[in-house]
Amino acid sequence: MAPAVLSLVVLGGYPLVFIALAAFTESSLGRPFQEFVGAATFESVLADGDATASLLRGVVYALLVAVVSVALGVATAVALWRSVRAGAVVRTLLLLPMITPPVVVGVLWKLVFTPSGGLVDTVLGAVIPGGATFSVLSHPVFAFLGVALADVWEWTPLIVLLVFAALIGQDAAITEAASLDGAHGFRLFRSITLPAIAGTVAAAFLIRLVLAFKVFDLVYVMTSGGPGQATTLPAYVIWQAALQQFDVGRAAAVTLLLAVVVTLVTLPVVAVTRRLHND
């Protein structure tokens, strides 16, 4: 029990207490906890349209990335499961994006999207000769989707891994019995396989949601939060406040607000997950 309590205090308690204290005090990078300011920092953050927009943007981003990642991840895992004997090499290759350092992923996708000689621009140039240069990361909507695509590419293998493990853990007798009863193809998947792995899929969705809320590296490397504020997500705002503006109090306030938002968004997912496991 003692090690568990100690790890909880060290890993969870100390950072949360530090953040809470910083959020309610005037705290700079070099001098935290200078003076109690009550809720003034929260009021300032909530009155800042860019800060609140980043929280909302973070919700949209996380849901989008989580949904796409899980859809692709489940589809890929099922495909691998069906070709399980020939899939060892493919399974290993699929894990590569996940084990690639996030900064490298960001650089890679930035090169793909770069308007001067990037993959997207080159392909479009070949398809539409004489067309204007196309810059994904300079358009607010495309830049948002571009970062999301890189994120999906990086973390979908995690979903594949989790769902694939659930698939091979199924009771083969049930599947065989369903087949003997005439269930095949999509019907077998929908009626037998999907219910069996639904709890894992929901759990994977929750994990992916939290990972998406945390994204920083890709934004830092690919767009610096731009163009404009289009890709300024909460983690980037926190980094900017703490390490660029030396305003740890503001960073802590945004962090706590983000924690509330993440909790509100994930609670329904947790409820669904629990229900699926109880069924």
Partner 1 sequence: MTSTRSPFGRRASGVAFVAGAAAVAMTLSACAGGAASGSNADGDFSGEELTVLLISSHEGASEWLSTEFEEKTGATINPVIVPYDEIGSKLALDQQSGANTIDVAAPWYVSLGDLAADGAIQDLTEWVDGNDALDVDDFIPSLWKPYSQVDGKTYGLPFDGDTHVLFYNREILARNGFDAPPATWDEYLEQTKTITENESADGVYGAAIFGQKSPLILGASFANRLAGFGGEFVDESGEPTINTPEAVAAAQALVDVNDYALPTPAETDFGAGNSAWFAGKVGFIENWTDLGVRSQDPESGSEVVDQWGVTFLPTGGGNTASRASLVAGFSWVIAANTQKTELAQEFIEWASSSEVNAKLLTELPPTGIDPNRLSSLEDETYGTEFPEIQEANRATLDGALAWPTGENATEAAQVLTDELAKLLAGEGGTAQETLDRVQAEWEDLLG
**Subset of 76-105 contacting partner 1 (CB under 8 A):** none
Least CB distance from residue 245 to partner 1, whole Å? 4
Least CB distance from residue 100 to partner 1, whole Å? 21
- Of 133, 179, 187, 190, the one binding partner 1 (CB under 8 A) is 133
Cα–Cα distance for residue pair 112/215, rounded to 1 Å: 19
Restricted to residues 18-47, the positions that interact with partner 1 (CB under 8 A) are: 18-19, 22, 28-33
- Of 70, 120, 248, 253, the one binding partner 1 (CB under 8 A) is 248
The answer to the question of residue 5 lying near partner 1 (CB under 8 A) is no
**Nearer to partner 1 by C-beta: 19 or 158?**
19
The three-state (H, E, C) secondary structure of the chain, written as one string:
CHHHHHHHHHHHHHHHHHHHHHHCEECECCCCCCEECCCHHHHHHHHCHHHHHHHHHHHHHHHHHHHHHHHHHHHHHHHHHHCHHHCHHHHHHHHHHHHCCHHHHHHHHHHHHCCCCCHHHHHHHHHCCCCCCCCHHHCHHHHHHHHHHHHHHHHHHHHHHHHHHHHHCCCHHHHHHHHHCCCCHHHHHHHHHHHHHHHHHHHHHHHHHHHHHCCCHHHHHHCCCCCCCCCCCHHHHHHHHHHHCCEHHHHHHHHHHHHHHHHHHHHHHHHHHHHHHHC
**Nearer to partner 1 by C-beta: 152 or 238?**
238
**Sole window of 67-75, 77-85, 149-157, 209-217 interacting with partner 1 (rule: CB under 8 A):** 209-217
Restricted to residues 221-240, the positions that interact with partner 1 (CB under 8 A) are: 223-230, 234-235, 238, 240
- Of 149, 213, 217, 253, the one binding partner 1 (CB under 8 A) is 213
The answer to the question of residue 249 lying near partner 1 (CB under 8 A) is no
**Sole window of 71-79, 95-103, 153-161, 252-260 interacting with partner 1 (rule: CB under 8 A):** 252-260
Cα–Cα distance for residue pair 10/7, rounded to 1 Å: 5
* Placement of tokens 């999301």 in the chain: 148
Least CB distance from residue 89 to partner 1, whole Å? 25
- Of 128, 169, 179, 190, the one binding partner 1 (CB under 8 A) is 169
Q: How many residues bind partner 1 (CB under 8 A)?
A: 80
- Of 200, 208, 249, 253, the one binding partner 1 (CB under 8 A) is 200
Least CB distance from residue 15 to partner 1, whole Å? 4
Cα–Cα distance for residue pair 200/193, rounded to 1 Å: 12
The answer to the question of residue 141 lying near partner 1 (CB under 8 A) is no
